[in-house]
Each structure stands twice: as C-alpha cells, then as structure tokens.
Chain A
C-alpha cells in the first residue's frame, strides 16, 4: 500500500521560503509510471495544483506560482520536496503531496494527509 507523508515547518514568516518534503513508502518514487505533485487548499476553499515532478527530474509548474516554486526529487531517500519563496499570508494553506498516474488516465490516486502551513510573523 503506497503512503505519502508531508513534513516541514508549520509556521513560516512573510517573505521567507516555505519548504516541505513528501516521503513515499510502499513503492518506489523512481517508477516511471507516476508524477509526484504538490496541491494546496486554503481553509474553507478549493484545491490548487502547484506543480509536479517526474522521477527523472522533469517538472511542470502552475504558471500562477511558477516564479516562486521549485520542486525537486531525491530518489535515494524516496522523497520529493517543495520550495515556495517570498511567501505572504495568501500562501497559508493545507499542503498536500499526491501521486498522479501517467499514461492515458491520469488521476491523483494517492494523497498525503496534508500539512497546515501558516504564514505569519
């Protein structure tokens, strides 16, 4: 059974960089069959896709965040990470990591439990 677990600081100061890591267990992040994504959800609001990475290191980002986002992968640790720079209060949200299937059908089939990140001084 694949499991994803987010980790990182729950409080980040404005203008600093938000850094989160997702640890994957029960399967290899190096599998060529999946993308590894970050998705966020402000309290009481909908879901926003931040971006994704492939095991080879190829990335796609949401244009709305592209100038501030970096997603990286560490296959030796079976982890992928999110860096979001120059954060403001509007970046306060629950951040999820998720696995997206490649191929013809491409749903997010496994999700982490989510981690709340608050941007505040």
Chain B
C-alpha cells in the first residue's frame, strides 16, 4: 500500500493567515493526489484534484501543487469557514489511501 503522511497533524492559525499543509507519498504517484476538507459531522468535500486543479465551486484561495512524492495545499488567506480537517488522498493505485489528516484550528 502507498502510505500518505501529512504534516503538521494540527495547526493553529488566525483569520487572514496564509497556511500550507504538506502531504508526502511513500512512493511516486505522479499527480494522482487529491485534497479534501471535512467539517465535524459532515462528509469530506473535494477541494483539489490531480494535485493542482480546483474543484468547481471551491474558492480560489485554495491551491495545490506538487508531483511525485511531495505535495502541498495552500490557503492564501484563511476565512472563518476554513477551520476544519484536511486530508490528502492518492488515486494512483488501489487500495486508495488517505493521509491521517491535518486539523486546522483557530488561534
């Protein structure tokens, strides 16, 4: 299985901050990397697919980059509604695997 490792596991930030979350794959996955946002009691919501493509309806303050084994999710200016848990996921091969999550909290 491909292991996905996110860092940090948790992060405190303020409204307006620029935030970056990192995801590392245990082997190369090209750009088969997706990012999701999950709020308490809700299903994950797709933000970024294919490492850098913004899902329709997702605000442009979200962006993704990377290829191979190292990827980043950046939120350019945090809004109150962005405080949530973020997961990366590889779609290179089965079994599909997710990172352990990064919980973004209000400072």
A interface, CB within 8 angstroms of B: 37, 46-49, 52, 60-64, 96, 98, 100, 104-109, 111-114
Select the residue from A100, A108, A109, A113 with max chain B CB neighbours within 10 A.
Answer: A108
Choose among A49, A109, A113, A114 the residue that contacts B96 (Cβ–Cβ < 8 A).
Answer: A49
Give the chain A neighbours of B97 by CB distance below 8 A. Answer: 49
Q: Is the beta-carbon distance between B98 and A46 smaller than 8 angstroms?
A: yes
Given contacts A46-B87, A113-B43, A114-B43, contact A108 B34 (CB under 8 A): yes
How many residues of chain B are within 8 Å of chain A by beta carbon?
24
Closest A-B pairs by Cβ, 8 of them? A106-B91, A111-B43, A107-B49, A49-B96, A107-B34, A62-B95, A47-B98, A105-B50
Give the chain B neighbours of A108 by CB distance below 8 A. Answer: 34, 36, 44, 46, 89
Considering the complex, give the chain B residue whose CB is closest to the CB of A37. B96
**A98→B95 CA distance, assembly (Å):** 15
For window 2-37 of B, CB contacts with A under 8 Å fall at: 32, 34, 36
Give the chain A neighbours of B95 by CB distance below 8 A. Answer: 49, 60-64
